[in-house]
Amino acid sequence: MSPQLLFQLHLVLGYVAWLLCFGTYVWPKLRSMAPFDAQRAIATLHSFRFFGLAFLLPGVVGAQLPASFAAFAAYGDFATGLLAMLALLTARIRPLFWSLVVAFNVIGMVDLLLDYYHATAVDLPAHSGELGALYAIPIIYVPVLAITHVAAFYLMLRPRFKRLRVVAAVSQDISNV
């Protein structure tokens, strides 16, 4: 099996495994939590994204890892991790906490999307061996980060969805009268 195919297979299976785990164990718990507590749990996971700076460490990644990919991924993760930590540190100041929750989720999701774009542009699967010790990040860690960003956005918008459903139900009841 070619390194490109193996990397792509690992990536897809990383998403499948995390979606199965998330759907069975994490999502039911997050949905049952108060919005503040759920977002705090998600921020805690993302606070470890400072680890992405390791993409810049010679010897941890290979010298042939495209620098354009490594630098962008490292600093995007670092920014997201700092914003998540700031959100956790400001939990007692709710308006600031919620602003930072929005910020780390927007920055984090944009970072992941742009990382996928850069990975495609530099043909990262062909250079996957250059990820060295960090091979597990795109295969194991990135899928759960992407999934939790989507969950965070859903949970932030959920009260609006509930209001829309109530308004739609009331409108339907009124029209049936």
Nearest to 52 by CA among 121, 127, 153, 145: 145
Q: Which residues contact 104 (CB under 8 A, 6 or more apart)?
A: 43, 46, 80, 83, 84, 86, 87
Q: What is the pTM of this model?
A: 0.87
| Average pLDDT, integer, range 153-158 | 93
d(CA 138, CA 140): 6
Which pLDDT score, from 0 to 100, does residue 173 have?
Answer: 63
Which pLDDT score, from 0 to 100, does residue 158 have?
Answer: 83
Residue 10, pLDDT > 80, answer: yes
**CA distances in angstroms from 17 to 32, 141, 142, listed in the order given:** 22, 11, 12
Residue 165, pLDDT > 70, answer: no
Residue 177, pLDDT > 70, answer: no
Cβ contact 86:49 at 8 Å: no
Q: List, for residues 50-69, the tens digit of each pLDDT value.
A: 999 999 999 999 999 999 99
Q: List, for residues 70-93, the tens digit of each pLDDT value.
A: 999 999 999 999 999 999 999 999
Cβ contact 80:107 at 8 Å: yes
Q: What is the average pLDDT value for the chain, to the nearest integer? A: 92
d(CA 126, CA 2): 9
Cβ contact 54:134 at 8 Å: yes
Nearest to 65 by CA among 144, 135, 149, 117: 135
Residue 127, pLDDT > 80, answer: yes
